[in-house]
Every structure is written in structure tokens, then in C-alpha cells.
Copies of this chain bind each other. A is one copy, B any other.
Amino acid sequence: MARIVMKFGGATLASTGHIQEMARKAIAEKDKGFDVVVVVAAMGQTAKDVKMMVKRFTDDVSKRELAAVMSTCTQLSSSLFAIALQEAGYKAVSLTGWQAGIHTDRMYRHARIDNIDVHRIEEHFEQGQIVVIAGEQGVDDDYNITTLGKGGAETTAVALAIGLEAERVDIYSNVDGVYTADPRYVTNAQKLQEISYDEMLELSNLGSHVIHPRAVELAKKFQLPVIIRSSSVESVGTLLKEEVEMEKNLVVRGVAFEADIIRLTVGYDAYSEGSLADMFTILAENRINVDIIVQAIIDGLKPTVSFSILKEEFAEALRVLEDSKVSLGFSFADFEIGLAKVSIIGSGMASNPGVAARMFDRLRHENIPVKMVSTSEIKVSVVVPQDDMIRAANALHDEFNLEQALYI
């Protein structure tokens, strides 16, 4: 029997009424003849509430215990979802991460999935049950509970779909698809019918939070179709797949932007071949996401490396740098706050020279200073003052005629 995986975000499960409504969506797929796996995030506020309780004890909780305590949130929503399905007359069972066979590494709060043993899920399918899985969690080799960190529930959904050879994953949230830009801020933003994994990867890496890049990466690797759809509006959503048929005439397919960027700059007295690698290895080991990196080695000046990080990782990044100052051999660190990143994305960009130039030109016309630049095959990102972010996004949306994107 064909299988699908449905992932429901926290906002779609905010109340018992919401859960009942989402249960009806799962039932609709079951009625079509699918074997259905449901992956749930934590209900609305529950994760925040539990974090508040932990905060009353300490600001420096052990990661193992935080994972153990936070895993109760998705366990709660998975059971309630199964209860809602049963109450509607359908067979259902809830599974925790360890029960669902989700094995991870030992990074308690940022664990990565090593493998999934789908054996048990398939047994439940044979009994006609809808299987509801607590997202964002797994178990390590020593049977400790781990949580998967950001994008964990989506990554769980995609990983399960791969393990189960499911037809597709449906991601339900309060957005109804992928847009050329965030419609809350960019007036003419249009919904895209399809988008490629790579484009989505760039978009989701760049602050358009409809689906986490971890999940997109995994889906791309196994060529798994993913649909981003609305929990409240009946619409087709946006399909993620390898080759996009439509809209290929558009070079730029989306504008993304992200506030609360901080630029860190590190200066060296003595700079060796390994300095750059050492720095980013240590940051990576501490799971600090570094985005744009600019290296400047200019004769007569001290070598510097600048990179951008998210505001929420700033304190941790400073701590790591401070601890590693001697071993990494740098002499000073400086930072600039109040920045934002604005990016244009499109897989047609590689074969269209001059796109970046057109972007910089428009920004200069708008009097928006560019602090850092980063480019890839399919995107160009600039770091600008946060106060100019929305204006820059609208200008670029207009510059590349995105109001003409095809949509349904």
C-alpha cells in the first residue's frame, strides 16, 4: 500500500480543537488508501512552558536533562493526536522517538539521525493503524533520549518517509506554500507552484522559515517529493522536487531576508594556513552556525576573518572564541550588531551573468550600504543595516519582476 508522511507544526496543534482538525486531515489520507505516518511538533506553548520551568532552576542546564524534559512535549502531542484519531473511529498508535526506531548521535540537543529502524511502524501498518510519532526526538546508542534541535520534526518526517519508501511528505503549517518573498513584508509576493530542492535550500537557509534546510537536504539526497501546505486553507501548496518545469523563464525566483544578524570579526597577529579551518572547526564542533565568511589578507594589515551568525548564537560564539583564543592564535575579536541579510535565489542564475551586478546597482540606487557579500551558484546574499532590510527586499522583488511569477 502506498504510504505518506504528514508533519504538523506547533501552531497547527495549538489546542485540542486544532488537533482534532489536523486528525481529520490524516483521516482523509487514510481514507484515500494510504498508510499514514503523522509526525507532530510540540503543541503551541507547551515547549515554552517547560523551558520556563527549567529556567527557574538554572540558566545552565545539562543538555542531556534538557533533551529528556523537552521530549515530553512532543510525546504529549503525539498521544493526544492518536487519541483524537481513535475518538474519530480510526485505529491509531503513538510512538516516541525510541519506539519509532529513530537512532541518533549523542549531541543531546542537536542530535542527527544515524538510522531509522522502521520495523515497528510497518507492524502497526499491518494492523491498519495510523502511526503518530513524536517529532524532534530519538535515542542514542546508550539509550539516552536525544532531541534533534531546529527543524527536528521536519527532518524526522523526511527521514521516516525515506525509510518507509513513502510517496511524499506533506508539511502542514500556517503558511500555505513558498512565496517569491515573505508576503507580510513584500507587497507583490507570489506563491510558487513548484520549487527545486536547491532553491528551497537557499530560501530556507536564508530566513524563509517554511521548512528547515536539514529536512530539505535530506529530501534532496533521496529525491523525495515534499509539499508545503496550509493547515487552514484548502490549497495545493508548493511542491519541492528536483527539476522545476514551470517558471523557468525567471532567473530570480525568490527574495529572502533575515533580521538579527551579527558580524563577528577576528584579527590575527600570526596567521597560518590552518587558521581558517581551525576557527570554523571549533565553531562547528559547538554547533554554531556560521553563514557568510569574508577573509581579508592585505599586506601591511593584520589578517582578519569576518563571519555572520544569528543573534541567538552570539553569546555562545563569544564564549567559544574566548576559550579558544590561545589555541587559535588570534589577537582580537570585534562585532557589529543590528544587521540583516537579504538574498536573491534562482537556479537559472548560474547561466545568467550580471545578476549580482544588477542587485548591487539597485541597492546603490536605493542608498542601502552593503556590508558583506556572499554568492553561490543559485543565490546572492548581502548583509545590510537591519533598518533597510524590508526596503531592500521590496526593491529587489521589483527589480527582478517577481510579481510576474506563475502561481495558482
Contacts and interface: CB of A to CB of B under 8 A. Distances in A.
Contact of A99 (B19, B58, B143): B143
Given A57-B16, A72-B72, A62 B83 contact: yes
A114 to B, nearest CB: 19
A58 to B, nearest CB: 4
A83 B54 contact: yes
Nearest to A56: B16
B53 A65 contact: no
A58 B72 contact: no
A62 B91 CA distance: 10
Q: Which 10 A-B pairs have the closest CB atoms?
A: A69-B79, A72-B72, A16-B56, A58-B87, A68-B79, A57-B83, A65-B79, A65-B83, A72-B75, A65-B82
A65 B82 CA distance: 7
B16 A87 contact: no
Contacts of A87: 57-58, 60-61
A92 B84 CA distance: 37
22 contacts: A16-B53, A19-B57, A20-B57, A50-B76, A54-B80, A57-B87, A58-B86, A58-B87, A60-B87, A61-B83, A62-B83, A65-B86, A66-B79, A68-B78, A68-B79, A68-B82, A68-B94, A69-B75, A69-B83, A72-B75, A72-B76, A98-B98
Interface in A32-83: 50, 53-54, 56-58, 60-62, 64-66, 68-69, 71-72, 75-76, 78-80, 82-83
Most chain B CB atoms below 10 A, which of A71, A76, A87: A76
A80 B94 contact: no
A19 B65 CA distance: 15
Nearest to A54: B83
A56 B23 CA distance: 14
A65, A78, A86, A87, most chain B CB atoms within 10 A:
A65
Nearest to A55: B16
Nearest to A74: B72
Contacts of A83: 54, 57-58, 61-62, 65-66, 69
